[in-house]
Amino acid sequence: MKKLVFALSSLPLIYLSYQLVFNLLGPNPVSEVIHFTGAWSLRFFLITLCITPLKNILNLAQLVKYRRMLGLFAFFYLSLHFLSYSGLDLHFSWQDISHDLIKHPFVYVGFIGLVLTLPLALTSNQYAQKKLKKNWKKLHQLAYVIPVLGVVHFWWLVKRDLTEPILYATILMILLGYRLIKYLSLQFVKKSQWEKLQES
């Protein structure tokens, strides 16, 4: 099953490669590549966040096995997004990149998202999880922050049609809202149990 998930996760890259080879990206292929890789990175972050709700609602514990792979694919497409922007568009001119970071807030927000993703990718293995112990879980709570930055980055980038960023923002609010409700419910249960113990 992991091989199937890997193959499906690779399809966007295969499709993009096909379009590049046959020159199907239109008059501005660099812009298309940047948008395509960025959009798929955000989609994979959202798909990764879907794992826990689906596991709980549908009682599919086996879904957790694919969360790490999906998260790494999110990082992979985000890396391609940054490399496309910095390499294909700005030709790795760090002066131009620095200028964009200062001039365009959406670039700055996107760059922060990339930086925050790096420690998650580097500690996604079992060795790091054992070494970091409880701190590993705290570190990987950044997985909730990064998609927020991704949505903000996309929202500020789009100038006219906000349909796509609004869709992603709505999905993200639902996924984070689910976790917030679950957390508050758990705290309420703990408080009720504590009050019962105090009364007994």
Is residue 29 predicted with pLDDT exceeding 90?
yes
Two tokens at 107? 């670039």
If one compares 197 and 97, the residue with the highest pLDDT of the two is: 97
pLDDT at 200: 61
Domain hosting 166: range is 2-199
Is residue 194 predicted with pLDDT exceeding 90?
no
How many other C-beta atoms lie within 10 A of the C-beta of residue 152? 18
pLDDT at 189: 78
**CA 154 to CA 94: how far, in whole Å?**
22
If one compares 61 and 73, the residue with the highest pLDDT of the two is: 73
Once rounded to an integer, what is the mean pLDDT over residues 97-123?
96
Two tokens at 186? 């758990």
143-186 pLDDT, tens digit per residue, is: 999 999 999 999 999 978 899 999 999 999 999 999 999 989 88
**Residues 6+ away with beta carbon under 8 Å from 32:** 19, 25, 26
pLDDT at 159: 78
**Could you identify the residue written with the tokens 């923002």?**
169
Two tokens at 66? 């694919």
pLDDT at 65: 93
Q: How many domains does the chain have?
A: 1
